[in-house]
Amino acid sequence: MRFFTTLRSALTLVALTTLIVSAQIPVKYPLTVKGDVTDDYFGNKIADPYRWLEDDRSEKTEAWVKEQNKVTEGYLSQITFRNRIKKRLTELWNFNKQSAPFKKGDYFFCYKNSGLQNQSVLSMAKKMDAKENEWQLVLDPNTLSKDGTVSLSGTSISKDCKILAYSISMAGSDWQEIHFKDLATKKDLPDIIKWVKFSGIAWKGNSIYYSRYDEPTGSALSQKNTGHKIYLHKVGTSQDKDELIFKDEKNPTYNFSAQVTDDEKYLIVYASQSTSGEKPMIKDLAIPNSKFVNIAEDFDHELSIFDNVGSTFYILTNKNAPKYKLETFTFKDGKISDYKTIIPESKDLLEGVRLCNKQIIANYLKDATSRLYLYDLTGKQIQEIKLPGLCKLNSFNTDKDYDFATYSISQYIAPEQSYYLDAKTFQSKLLFKPDIAFKSDDYITEQYFYPSKDGTRIPMFVTHKKGIEMNENTPCFVYGYGGFNISLGPEFRIDRAIFLEAGGLYCVPNLRGGGEYGEEWHKAGTKCKKQNVFDDFIAACEYLVSKKMTSYKKIAIHGRSNGGLLIGAVMTERPDICKVALPTVGVLDMLRFHLFTIGRAWSVDYGNSENKEDYNCLIKYSPLHNVRGPNFPATLVLTGDHDDRVVPAHSFKFAATLQEFNKGINPTLIRIDVNAGHGAGKPTTKQIDEFSDMWAFTFYNLGMN
């Protein structure tokens, strides 16, 4: 498909100066420039008047961002309890946090945060249950910037436990730099690797495999990413000496990641063309000039090698098993053979598998909550390892030769706790429980099931204060995602605690498009079936109202990234379904998402406007192209100016269009976080600022002041 675009040098000024009143706070939107840009999609002329906002390096865009933030700040500053919300949120946030420890060599490592540190720090100790003063500081990302906007995005420790390789991100960008630290002296080594993106760090001796792109020639924050490659870096050398290990010039849009087995004998390269489906290849590093051997010939399935015992490899896959199964295969003399199914597919989703003490520990997802089971090496189930209530397994650290494991779980009403698991008795012992001001025992999470528009049974978690009387005046916050095979299980969110304390219902429906029930559940919410996701979410709101748990005038809806698309689609399709809408870092222009950074990889879920069939589906729900008005919910669009995952132009154009068409009394504002990205690594101070504003806006427009 060809695009036909006309851009007149003289842009037409459209004065969006309508004075509106929402809860008696006046809003005067800034002037927004409207251009004459039209694209041709299969004979359909589609206007894109705010195309100029896609230029993240333009002075006009920068000025627009400043003006919009000025208007939004002017609105929020008039909410009298805004500071009170920030004060309480800061109090709730200020509690000690610690990850489940993991072992490397003779040491245990974990991430710690004393409460309000912008970034968590990496520490090491001789014992996993070491006292606080026995932990040695390894790396404190808070020292890397004054405002906490440099974050730690990945770590990997060499097999001999002598060197730490760590990647850092600036201002929330997906671009990373890899640095190295001597673990004995705790001093940085001179090596720096740049232009790394979507990469792991895989050690082989004193070298690492990593993935990178060439240095961008245009905007680093919006230029399409192509030509991903894998390199080998030897510690102590400069990056220009790195050895190119793998590239695919015939397929410049593919991505590649490297994995080295624990025995460092085999290299595995995973090729991907999207966010679903992988094509792994394997080679024997002990054989000079050995070739990669394909484990899969296409991208139709997920295949992940998680361990090996000699030449026997353990693989988790959904090939011919939508809810996954555990298989083994043999790799000898450059040939793959002897596939065996160890744990077949079951009615519940097999999420992960580990070898521990020469046995198998598998975690399942049953109706979006975690279950843990022990198997012998033949696949015979021995017992269930009990987990506490409705929870989500966040991490599980062990090794095939260890007689123990550590793991962490979270719940909607309690933050992450870590446990020690004795792999001889398979009894668990609490290792760490944070001390938090939120009174978890006063709250409860219940799971409901409701029918969607087509009758599909959808689960939903509802968390609230015990003994609360639910009626049409009960404030309700509904959060959703529904995409990319991602499951939403019980997760404690500090910012949600302030809503719960105020007597609200926090609701999380498990929409199609996610991974809660396997690949069929995922596929039911993709491409031209994407409307199922929106229907599932709308049905959740309708169910809550029908059960007299709340009313539409008391519902706020929220989602991030793909969830931002969800909110944008729902609020334009059914503006009556809620009082407040909070689309955050959302994919909102469904005709052009594939033209920026890594957006093309999302085509497996969304389709692509260059395909006629996909275009016909995308245009029906694309939030940007379905803003009609005249009335919208009170809307606060949230994004970051350094978001190079979902570029902020999505939010910019959507907000400008909402302001153009809005004739009602509800505000349509945008909050653009400066020097912030998609969300990962955002410093605590910025998170508190963002959520304080989000909740002030929500409380005010739900009448909770």
Please identify every residue annotated as catalytic.
Answer: 561, 678
Pairing of strands 668-673, 634-640: parallel
Give the chain's end-to-end CA distance (angstroms, integer).
52
Q: What are the DSSP E strand ranges found in 79-186? A: 97-98, 102-104, 107-113, 121-125, 136-139, 150-157, 163-170, 176-182
* Radius of gyration over every alpha carbon of the chain, rounded to an integer in angstroms: 25
Q: What are the DSSP E strand ranges found in 441-485? A: 443-451, 457-465, 476-479
Peptide bond into 216 cis (omega under 30): no
Distance CA 137, CA 104 (A): 16
In Å, how far from its chain's centre is CA 23? 34
CB under 8 Å to 370, separation ≥6 — which residues? 351, 363, 364, 387, 391, 392, 393, 409, 489
Distance CA 186, CA 138 (A): 6
Q: How far is CA 96 from CA 120, 155, 685, in A?
A: 10, 22, 16
Distance CA 52, CA 653 (A): 9
Distance CA 347, CA 363 (A): 13
Taking a C-beta distance cutoff of 8 angstroms, is the pair 651, 639 a contact? yes
Helix (H, G, I), strand (E, B) or coil at 341: strand
Taking a C-beta distance cutoff of 8 angstroms, is the pair 119, 142 a contact? yes
- Residue 364: what are its φ and ψ, rounded to 5°? -115, 160
Helix (H, G, I), strand (E, B) or coil at 432: strand
Closest among 310, 301, 389 to 345, alpha carbons compared? 301
